[in-house]
Amino acid sequence: MSLLFDFKNALDSRVVVPAASAAVYLIYKKYEPSSPASAVLLLGITPGALVVTLHSHFSSSVIAAFIIYVSYWSLLATIVVAYRLSPFHPLARYPGPVLCKISKGWLAYVAGKGGKAHLYVQDLHMRHGEVVRIGPNELSITHGDITDAVLGAKGLPRGPYYDTRQHEAGMSLDGMRDQALHAVRRRPWARGMSSAAMKYYEELIQNTLGDLVASLKQRMNNPLDISEWMTFFGFDFMGHMAYTCDYGMLKNGYDKEGLFDLIERAMQDSAWISHIPWCLPYLLFIPGGSKDWDRMKALGEQTVEDRIALGSTHRDLFHHLMDEDGHEPVKPTKALVAVDGMLAIIAGGDTTATTLSHLFYFLLRYPTYFERLRKEIDEAFPHGEDSSLNFTKQASMPLLNACINETLRLYPPVLAGLQRRVESGMGGKMIGPYFIPEETQVSLIAYSIHRDPQHFSPLANTFWPDRWLSQEKYLSPSGDIIAADEVITNRDVFIPFSQGPMGCAGKNVALTEMRSVTCALMQNFDVKIADQSFLDTWEDKIEEIFTTRRGTLPVILSLRA
């Protein structure tokens, strides 16, 4: 009996609580449970059971509960932090801030606080080199082998960053992590973005351009926000293209439905939630926490219902996503098509508008390129010839495409990283000279990659479209002569639309839009900045909200003589 008594006495809080904390840590490390039920069990009920078992060792049950709960949570947190900072962690060799090594919550905080996560990671690369640890189990890499090793056909599947794309109807195309399932789901998109489908979309671009030019002519000689009008164009076109739906932004001169503001608010939440996707189930318990996403969902469903009621009068994107030609063995649900349809509106409308806004900012800041580009457009389309009638010619215009590429290089429309994951059982992955262990996320942040002097030099942070042109010698913006062999333009790591089997399905449509809008505006109007201060602060106001939030760019348009 005395031996049993001694054994029971040994089972006090000094032994049991640390042992329980260590056991729960191992459960989290191995299985990564994230549901609210598992959190209640492991973080609430387990220490509660210890209180019931050990309360007799304390002067009161209240004191027992306080000491055991605090000790349990503190020990669990200490074990987590100690391991993540220890030399035994698989990523211990890679540099990075202590706060990033401890928790991805720090980057979520940076992203949510001011939309400057892309600048934060860029600064880390400037201080630490081409591999930086930005999370306990995540690396940001700018090495030249990234596109083939990570995004290529034998690359890596998407990481948990994309889990926030889950909807009640299912996962949107851009959130699908399984490569095989993604390939199946992408088939209707491929048909919807084929060269045959492009013929109809080009007609829509011409019509939408007509609305843009006509509306701008009504507002000449007065300040207008060219960035806002790029948004009107992007969303009006995508409404026609995706659903044969007219949002009427160009004709009305404003966003009557409040669509753009709604998308911005929803995207702002995604910017930080995507870094810690495990928190999403908990946010659903907050009243009104998902109201913007709920409104977007309702808008998408209503748009689908309106399109079905309209009938298949045009071979728009909905026609292909709904598989109205009967190519697939099983037709998708209306709810799932609504999810992908809203993806098309956001990805197509907002990102194109962002790039066009950045482009006109650069052309106004560097008027030499404005004049050079206008000269190329005038030579390609002599006076009286409508540039929107020849998209093929636009695609072969060197400086036009160089200016667009340089804009996409400096400010890819999605400033966040393309996250991939080395899954358990893969045996790790070599990216250049770096071994990436299993269960590690790899982020390719285009903003950092495109500004790495190893890939784009000289003037990696400067708008210099000439780097995209084939020349025997180059003239820098300051007037210096640069030999061709001193210019590095690594097109292999140019990833504004991602690359590989999960690359952007609408890349060709987006580029056609950008070229045609640029040619139409420069053909029809003289463009002058209304207030120089907006040029001076444009880049400071850029925020990463999963997509890009930008400021205003007031210009004065006048009809070309």
Q: How many helices (H) and strands (E) does the chain have?
A: 25, 17
Dist. CA 100–CA 90, nearest whole Å: 15
Dist. CA 277–CA 292, nearest whole Å: 17
Which tokens belong to 286?
């907050």
Dist. CA 324–CA 197, nearest whole Å: 14
Dist. CA 173–CA 175, nearest whole Å: 5
pTM of the complete model: 0.92
Binding site: what residues are annotated? 504
- Give the pLDDT confidence score for residue 169 in this predicted structure: 60
- Give the pLDDT confidence score for residue 58 in this predicted structure: 79
Task: Tell me the domain boundaries of the chain.
Answer: 2-85, 162-455+490-559
Beta bridge partners of 527: 557
CATH architecture of 162-455+490-559: Orthogonal Bundle (1.10)
How far separated are the first and last CA of the chain, in Å rounded? Answer: 107
Binding site for heme: what residues are annotated? 504
Which residues in the chain land under pLDDT 70? 1-13, 166-170, 288-289
Instruction: With beta carbons less than 8 A apart as the criterion, state whether 151 and 499 touch.
Output: yes
- Give the pLDDT confidence score for residue 293 in this predicted structure: 74
- Give the pLDDT confidence score for residue 6 in this predicted structure: 44
Question: 155-181 in b/e burial notation, b at 16+ Cβ within 10 A?
Answer: bbbbbbbbbbbebebbbbbbbbbeeee
